[in-house]
Every structure is written in C-alpha cells, then in structure tokens.
Structure 1
C-alpha cells in the first residue's frame, strides 16, 4: 500500500537513495490536482514536505510556528497523509519546548484513535505519552475522559504493542483528570478492572507485566 511504501521510505534506518525518494515524494504532495482533492493550498503542502523530509532543527521550528495549520491535515481522509502528519506531531512532541504547543491540538489528535490502523494509532498514543511526560499530567490532558474511553477499547486490540501502550497511557490519564471530573473518571477505572485483569494473562509478556 501507499502507507507501507512511505513508512519504509521514511524509516530511520533507511538510507539507500532516501534523499532522492524524499524529493520525489514532496513533488507528489505538492501536485496541484492532489492539493485540490484534499482542499489544501500548495503552501500548506509545503508543511507536509517538511514532515516528509529528514527532520532538522529548522524544519521543527517552522512546524512549531505553524501548528495552527496542521489540524487541517488531520481531517484529510487519507491514511498516508494522516500518518505523515502524526509523524510530524511525534517529532514535535518529543521536545519539551514544543510539546506545550501540541497540547492544544490533542482533541484533534484524539480522533486518530477511531481508525483501525496500527501505525496511525501508535503514533497518536506516542504523541499523548510524550506530551504528558513533558508538560505534566494535569496540564497535558484536557480530553482525559474521552481519551480514557478510547483507551479502554484498545486493551483488547490485536496488536500487542497497542495493548501495551494503551494500558500505560491509561494509567497516566487517570492522574491527569481535573478534580471536578474525578467521579466520572472513577467509572472508567471500574470498567477497566476486568479488562486489565485479563491482560495479566496476555500471551505477550510485556503486556502482562504492564
């Protein structure tokens, strides 16, 4: 699939002809017909090219200054584009100084968890985890209750990596909820007890140990 090709192309250990392939991919993203289909400008697609290219300090700074435009890409109904955008958010969320900017976009990123795509879900979970770690639990999670609901459904996901990541993040989200929402979060915690207990016998050891 297109997503598989892009993922292999942009893998950290991929070096063979990577620069040339990145340039070709950028040309595709800036194609006028493609931009029209996705209802974005060629200038907007330039941000996508920065996400596609090898991440540099300069690119990160530009992306950070234009985070208000990135939610537009999250609404594009294309797994490859969504994967690229989330990839950019992952890099931004890894830096403490930019993680705070990402915080305001968490409601948009949350919507990525509704898709049944392992690569997309893992990227979204990593963004939440990074923001929580850098910004602080109470400040980082303005969508704690809704996120908790989404995570509960991921405990039984076919991917062991998603099961493990969702359980770890759920524990952080429990602490991230505001005091006036503690009662509602308690209901989520009670609903999680049986699924979490079952995961203690998970066939994947790393999940069982979470």
Structure 2
C-alpha cells in the first residue's frame, strides 16, 4: 500500500463515483441516439456519445483528493506517494476516455449520421479543431487537454479551504472580469487553439506538470 503503484491501483479500483458518472452520461448518450434513430430526427444534432467519457478523468481529479486521501493515509500510505499515485491514476482514465471517444466517433457517430437519422453530432474534437488534424493527432491533443484540466482540478480541489486557495480563487475571478483576461485568452489559445499541434500538446503537458507539482504544498499540510 505504501508504494505509488499500490495507491494508484486503489484509486482506480475505488473510483466508483466518477465511473458511475461517466457511465450514466455514456448510457444517456446511447439512449439519445436510439431515440433519434427511432423517431427519425434527421434535422437534429446530439452531443457525440464519446464526449461523455471525458467526465471520467475530470471527476476523478476532484474525487481522489477529497475522498481517497484520508483513507490511503490511514492504510499506511505516505503523502509523497499519494502525490505521485494520483497522476498515475488519471493517466489511464485519460487514455481510455480519449481512445473510446475516437473509436465511437469513427463508428457509432459516423454510422448514425450516415443513416440519415441524425443530421450531425456535436463533438468537442470538432469544436476545438482537433479532428481536422486526423484521428491520431486528435487523440494526443484531447489527451493533453484532459491531462491539463485534471491537474488544474486536482490542485484547485486540494487548495480549497486554505488561505492561498482563497487568494487563487479571487485572482481567477479578477482575471475573468478585468483587462487581465487577455492573459486567459493567451493561455487558452496556447493550450487548445494553437495551430501548431506539437506546441499545443507540449504547452498542456508543461502547464499541467507545473500546476500539479504545486499540489504537493497542500498535500503536505492536509489533515488526515
């Protein structure tokens, strides 16, 4: 239990709430497709069913810091190992969510649109411009974005209730509603909308790694 791998296995094995959330979203998506097929919703658009699985790693990034920390510490885990294990829990979830999203895009989504029962699907891979680069590139791009936002959610969850957490929250609000929002525009253009794929992916990985590294500060001081 004291090893990083052991903790990561526990995190994955007991992440029932994120798994349930993503599973329900996926099931609702399939049900919506079925209804559209039955009623011949040829002018309608549905959210691409694979996008629902993005909830899996994102929910885990909130659930693991809040629900698993105390449990793992009481089982003999160490804070440093928890810090390392969390990211190793998110990565498999990210890969699965991104891969299934690509697979469903090329199979289920494509089949229902070609059947004429649905005019199109609203896919984040199209909205973000990743699909235009091909399926393989889209897989790495959406994986990088999910990695970044998992790191953000993980760290933001851990700092809530701390004095520096309040400062970060206020700073983010000020950035949104002030001329400083230009920095947010630059950030999103870099990590999502940059026209050079490699720059976009590396930016997500670098920003995510730095933000995740900062989470060790609240982990060191988090009560058990």
Q: TM-score range by the shorter chain?
A: under 0.3
TM-score (norm 2): 0.26
TM-score (norm 1): 0.27
Higher CA-based Rg: 2
Structure with greater contact order relative to length (CA < 8 Å, sep ≥ 6): 2
